[in-house]
Amino acid sequence: MGLAFICALAFLVILTVAGCTSDDPNLVGTALVTDHVDTVLFALGTEQINQYSAIRVENPDILVHEQEVLYIGEQGGTRSGSIIANYDFSDIFSNEYPETLFTEENIKSVKFSLTKLNYYSASEEGQGTGQPVALFYQVQEMEAPFDPVDFANYPVQNPPVGVGPFLNSDFADTNRSNEPLLPFYDAVELLGWIAGRESVGIIVTLGAQSDPGLVGFASKELTHFLELDPLRVGTIPAPNFVVEFQDNTIPNFLLAPYADSSSFEEVPDPPADADGGFLLRTCLRSYPALYFDLTGLPPNAFINRALLSVTNDTTISFGNLGSIAVLEWDVAGFGDPYRTMDLDELTDAIPRGSNRYSFHVTGQNALDPTRNTIVQFDVTQAILRIINQVYTGARGLILTAGEDFFPEGLSTPVNPDFYYREFRFMGAAAADQTQRPQLKITYSVTNELEGEGN
């Protein structure tokens, strides 16, 4: 924009020099043009964050037990100790599977099936993605089916526990399968549930020898099947019972859950101030908001470019590739230092012309929490609007994931509810000053307009 302004002044001088179209070119009138732009570029790097907030964003349309992915394991302080699922055996019979078929003599095997997301699968070389691959699954019955109301939010106050012996016979062995089929010791428990027309809760936990980290499996809510490896014919991706009969002409009986959930017993709060770092988390959304001190800008500054620079700590961040967007945000809505809001409030921030909120500025795609260190965003438009006082009140910047209501190019194939990832950014008090969050502003200085003449 600075170059365009200079060009415009140059064009004005040319027109003035030209005089009347009937005259030869001359310098008449050029002395009247005294306004100019100082073309020297100045740099301002501000690290002072006047206000910060860690905003917990909740999606009322997708509660924890309604998410498409079931997580189990522990990483970065987050722990989901189990996958839980409820099954209804009160009405499972049909013409294809009559009640008389479900006897100990007719049943060859009972297995419990899970389906990993492709991102968490082992490669053909047996190497993982950095997430847990070698797991030791343990399947138990719960005292009673879980109440989904207790798993609408996080962290869970009363985590579920299993009762009685483990049901699967291979929990002591490592399992690298992308579709683990966990064989039960026998069919006795299953036949008891069927005979009693029971509703049963099942809990899956991991043995102590399992690889550390969070790993995701398909839930009964899964609709994004492209996030899975190609499945066997007849597979139900959700945690399900697989009953194989002695008569090989009878297809396996599959029973899907009527409810399932991750347990999420421990979900740490983000840092309480920006000095110690800040967090952008998906699945259980946490979005950081920053308000920088711009008092170092002179009143006649002409902004050429403004970059928001943040440093991701790849040693503790984790998860797969994701987008990060930047929004302008009313500082009055930050909260200090925490705030909880519904996802709808972010949606309201997108249309222009809203004085209460603001709108999308910029973003980047395909950022890797484990590889991308310095991430920069062009926020020139935002800084221009802020210093020109387009809004009433102060405006800061909020970093979010790629929501599906953002402009094309920043939305992602799956919503941020889907994958659990964390970007852990260095704080304003980082020992290495170059790693601190900064606004890097390049500006020119415009002189006050002066003119003379009749």
Q: Domain of 301? A: 42-60+270-446
Boundary of a domain, candidates 238, 262, 286 = 262
Q: Would you state the pLDDT for residue 124?
A: 47
- Same domain, yes or no: 437 and 368: yes
- Same domain, yes or no: 410 and 322: yes
pLDDT tens figures, 244-297: 999 999 999 999 999 999 999 999 999 999 999 999 999 999 999 999 988 889
d(CA 61, CA 58): 9
In a domain, 296, yes or no: yes
d(CA 414, CA 118): 14
- Same domain, yes or no: 248 and 183: yes
In a domain, 391, yes or no: yes
d(CA 86, CA 89): 10
Can you tell me the mean pLDDT for 196-218? 95
In a domain, 184, yes or no: yes
- Which pLDDT band, with edges at 50, 70 and 90, does 129 fall under? low
In a domain, 451, yes or no: no
Residue 412 has pLDDT above 80, yes or no: no
Tell me the HSE value of 216 on the side-chain side, using a 13 A CA sphere. Answer: 24
Q: Would you state the pLDDT for residue 299?
A: 83
- Same domain, yes or no: 219 and 116: yes
Residue 46 has pLDDT above 90, yes or no: no
Residue 31 has pLDDT above 60, yes or no: no
The model carries a pTM of 0.87
Q: Where are the beta strands (DSSP E) in 263-394?
A: 278-281, 286-292, 301-311, 322-330, 338-342, 360-367, 374-378
d(CA 289, CA 395): 10
115 close to 178: Cβ distance less than 8 angstroms: yes
Residue 226 has pLDDT above 60, yes or no: yes
In a domain, 454, yes or no: no
Run of H or E residues at 316: none
d(CA 176, CA 209): 13
d(CA 193, CA 200): 7
Q: Would you state the pLDDT for residue 23?
A: 54
Q: How many structural domains does the chain have?
A: 3
Which residue type occupies 74? Answer: E
- Same domain, yes or no: 51 and 83: no
What is the CATH classification number for the domain harbouring 423?
Answer: 2.60.120
Q: Would you state the pLDDT for residue 347?
A: 73
d(CA 129, CA 320): 9
In a domain, 158, yes or no: yes
- Same domain, yes or no: 198 and 142: yes
Q: Where are the beta strands (DSSP E) in 76-159?
A: 78-80, 83-88, 107-113, 137-142
pLDDT tens figures, 369-399: 999 999 999 999 999 988 888 877 888 999 9
Q: Would you state the pLDDT for residue 354?
A: 44
Q: Would you state the pLDDT for residue 173?
A: 67
- Same domain, yes or no: 289 and 239: no
pLDDT tens figures, 416-442: 999 999 999 999 999 999 999 999 999
Q: Would you state the pLDDT for residue 131?
A: 62
Residue 189 has pLDDT above 90, yes or no: yes
Residue 8 dihedral angles phi and psi, to the nearest 5°: -65, -40
Q: Are strands 107-113 and 181-183 parallel, antiparallel or unpaired?
A: antiparallel
In a domain, 73, yes or no: no
- In the DSSP assignment, the letter for residue 195 is H
Q: Would you state the pLDDT for residue 406?
A: 80
- Same domain, yes or no: 204 and 116: yes
Q: Would you state the pLDDT for residue 448?
A: 47
Q: For residue 124, count other CB atoms closer than 10 A to its CB.
A: 6
- Which pLDDT band, with edges at 50, 70 and 90, does 364 fall under? very high
158 close to 131: Cβ distance less than 8 angstroms: no
pLDDT tens figures, 290-336: 999 888 898 888 899 999 999 999 999 999 999 999 998 888 889 88
Q: Would you state the pLDDT for residue 425?
A: 98
In a domain, 178, yes or no: yes
Q: Would you state the pLDDT for residue 300?
A: 85
288 close to 425: Cβ distance less than 8 angstroms: yes
Q: For residue 155, count other CB atoms closer than 10 A to its CB.
A: 16
d(CA 260, CA 203): 10
Residue environment code for 289-308, b if the CB has 16+ CB neighbours within 10 A, otherwise e: bbbbebeebeeebbbbbbbb
Run of H or E residues at 9: helix 2-18
pLDDT tens figures, 86-110: 999 999 999 999 999 999 999 999 9
Q: Would you state the pLDDT for residue 366?
A: 92
Residues 6+ apart with CB under 8 A from 51: 289, 290, 291, 331, 334, 336, 396
pLDDT, averaged across the chain? 86
Name the burial class of residue 116, with classes exposed (0-12), middle (13-18) and buried (19+) by CB atoms within 10 angstroms of its CB: buried
Of 451, 444, 454, nearest to 3 (Cα)?
A: 444
Q: Would you state the pLDDT for residue 410?
A: 74
- Same domain, yes or no: 203 and 280: no
- Which pLDDT band, with edges at 50, 70 and 90, does 243 fall under? very high
Give the N- to C-terminal CA distance of the chain in Å, as an integer: 31
Can you tell me the mean pLDDT for 200-226? 95
361 close to 352: Cβ distance less than 8 angstroms: no
Residue 359 has pLDDT above 70, yes or no: no
Which residue type occupies 428? Answer: A
- Same domain, yes or no: 24 and 95: no
- Same domain, yes or no: 281 and 209: no
Q: Would you state the pLDDT for residue 386?
A: 86
Which residue type occupies 274? Answer: A
Most distant CA pair in the chain, distance: 112
Boundary of a domain, candidates 240, 262, 284 = 262
- Same domain, yes or no: 56 and 105: no
